[in-house]
């Protein structure tokens, strides 16, 4: 199981913090240091227990001078930390979490603060991200025209398209409108750049005949909805369990970039009906990703700590569920009756 080394530092009275933490949270791996007039605690903990430790430390130290907490991933420890007995762990989970939520909550293994940092990093508006989108569009266009699925996989891995969509759902779960604004800007920028660049590429690439890979992006099926929803759930789980391999696999499965590039190429080459169909597939993936990731974050209990922030997040979630739910229903009707 992944480990976390939590370091808390503050300036003030030493007090009886260590004993309080030990008694309240039943944690033994605590070390206390004094550095001048500052105090530091180091706690080695299983990652799935890190959130309750961080919250407990914050509630006790937030009024202290120069207070701070650092969360460090730990590769291992000597001697090894003892794992809780399976029956005790299962009983504790069943006691705290409803049975229908257990499959989701069981996989949550990193703290809210770590999750925020990881996801917030994906909404950068830096020129490098724009360049990556352009490069991905070029690779995707080549793969589509050559009918080469291996090249398309490369485009999916390169493209930084999934992160901003996950960040949108995450920000709504926390009621964080500042992160939501950044996510929307990053998402719109990357979509616009990829679409405009693929339109321009269409004027220089001869599409006298359409490859199988292009045609595959012009036909929508009910299975596309199931695929995109499944991939959206996997995207959220890959973040909350810190599994980077799963994140790459999700990008390959959802394939946001190929339908967007195919749409641009087809529209600028005069295949308007096909181009619109490919763009609808892209929109379908976006809707399903946001709907599925939002549900997954909700089931995993991703929410703010303070009660008034939780109320704000509830309002945002209700509106977002309604919006994405209506859009998903519209897309389902289009897929069922028009394709």
Residue given tokens 């998903």 in the structure block: 328
Residue-level pLDDT at 273: 94
Residue given tokens 């976006």 in the structure block: 286
> What are the Cα distances from residue 96, in Å, to 11, 53, 54, 100, 300?
35, 17, 19, 12, 13
Confidence class for position 43, pLDDT limits 50, 70, 90: confident
Residue-level pLDDT at 78: 77
Q: Which residue has the higher pLDDT, 280 or 234?
A: 280
Torsion sign across C-alpha atoms 84, 298, 306, 241: positive
Ramachandran sector of residue 41 (left: φ over 0; alpha: ψ -120 to 50; beta: rest): beta
Residue-level pLDDT at 54: 86
CATH topology of domain 3-83: Alpha-Beta Plaits (3.30.70)
Domain layout of the chain by residue ranges: 3-83, 112-338
Please state which CATH number belongs to domain 112-338.
1.20.1080
Confidence class for position 246, pLDDT limits 50, 70, 90: low
pLDDT in tens, 180-207: 999 999 999 999 999 999 999 998 888 8
pLDDT at 95 over 80: no
Closest of 132, 251, 120, 146 to residue 207, by C-alpha: 146
Instruction: Provide the greatest CA pair distance for the chain.
Output: 78
Q: Which residue has the higher pLDDT, 209 or 265?
A: 265
d(CA 246, CA 239): 9
Assess contact for 229 and 324: CB atoms under 8 A. no
Confidence class for position 232, pLDDT limits 50, 70, 90: confident
Ramachandran sector of residue 171 (left: φ over 0; alpha: ψ -120 to 50; beta: rest): alpha
Low-confidence winner among 24-28, 44-48, 117-121 (lowest mean pLDDT) = 24-28
Three-state DSSP at 39 gives strand
Q: Which residue has the higher pLDDT, 31 or 169?
A: 169
Residue-level pLDDT at 49: 80
The residue-averaged pLDDT of 226-233 equals 88
pLDDT in tens, 279-300: 999 999 999 999 999 999 998 8
End-to-end Cα distance, the chain: 46
Confidence class for position 98, pLDDT limits 50, 70, 90: low
Residue-level pLDDT at 271: 94
pLDDT at 252 over 80: no
pLDDT at 46 over 90: no
Residue-level pLDDT at 85: 54
d(CA 207, CA 142): 12
pLDDT at 89 over 60: no
pLDDT at 104 over 80: no
Percent of the chain at pLDDT above 90?
35
pLDDT at 245 over 80: no
The alpha carbon of 35 is separated from its chain's Cα centroid by a whole number of angstroms, namely 38
Residue-level pLDDT at 180: 94
Assess contact for 8 and 65: CB atoms under 8 A. no
> What are the Cα distances from residue 118, in Å, to 50, 78, 90, 205?
16, 28, 29, 38
The residue-averaged pLDDT of 213-221 equals 91
Residue given tokens 């995450």 in the structure block: 170
Low-confidence winner among 45-49, 123-127, 217-221, 312-316 (lowest mean pLDDT) = 45-49
Assess contact for 201 and 138: CB atoms under 8 A. yes
Q: Which residue has the higher pLDDT, 286 or 73?
A: 286
């Amino acid at each position: 199981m992944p480990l976390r080394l939590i370091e808390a530092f503050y300036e003030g009275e030493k007090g009886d913090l260590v004993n309080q933490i030990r008694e309240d949270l039943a944690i033994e791996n605590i070390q206390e240091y004094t550095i001048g007039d500052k105090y530091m605690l180091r706690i080695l903990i299983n990652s799935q227990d890190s959130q309750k430790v961080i919250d407990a430390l914050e509630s006790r130290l937030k009024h202290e001078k120069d207070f701070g907490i650092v969360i460090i991933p730990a590769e291992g420890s000597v001697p090894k930390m003892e794992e809780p007995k399976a029956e005790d762990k299962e009983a504790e989970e069943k006691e705290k979490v409803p049975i229908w939520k257990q499959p989701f909550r069981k996989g949550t293994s990193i703290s809210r603060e770590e999750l925020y940092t990881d996801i917030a990093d994906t909404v950068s508006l830096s020129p490098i991200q724009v360049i990556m989108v352009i490069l991905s569009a070029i690779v995707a266009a080549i793969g589509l025209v050559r009918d080469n699925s291996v090249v398309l996989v490369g485009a999916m891995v390169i493209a930084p398209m999934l992160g901003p969509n996950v960040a949108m759902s995450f920000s709504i779960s926390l009621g964080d409108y500042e992160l939501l604004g950044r996510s929307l800007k990053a998402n719109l920028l990357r979509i616009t750049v990829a679409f405009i660049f693929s339109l321009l590429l269409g004027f220089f690439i001869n599409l006298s005949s359409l490859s199988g890979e292009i045609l595959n992006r012009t036909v929508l099926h009910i299975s596309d909805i199931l695929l995109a929803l499944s991939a959206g759930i996997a995207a959220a789980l890959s973040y909350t369990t810190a599994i980077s391999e799963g994140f790459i696999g999700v990008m390959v499965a959802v394939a946001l970039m190929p339908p967007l590039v195919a749409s641009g190429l087809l529209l600028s080459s005069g295949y308007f009906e096909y181009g619109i169909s490919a763009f609808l597939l892209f929109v379908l993936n976006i809707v399903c990703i946001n709907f599925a990731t939002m549900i997954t974050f909700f089931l995993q209990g991703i929410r703010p700590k303070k009660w008034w922030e939780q109320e704000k997040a509830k309002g945002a979630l209700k509106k977002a569920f309604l919006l994405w739910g209506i859009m998903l229903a519209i897309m389902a009707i289009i897929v069922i009756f028009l394709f």
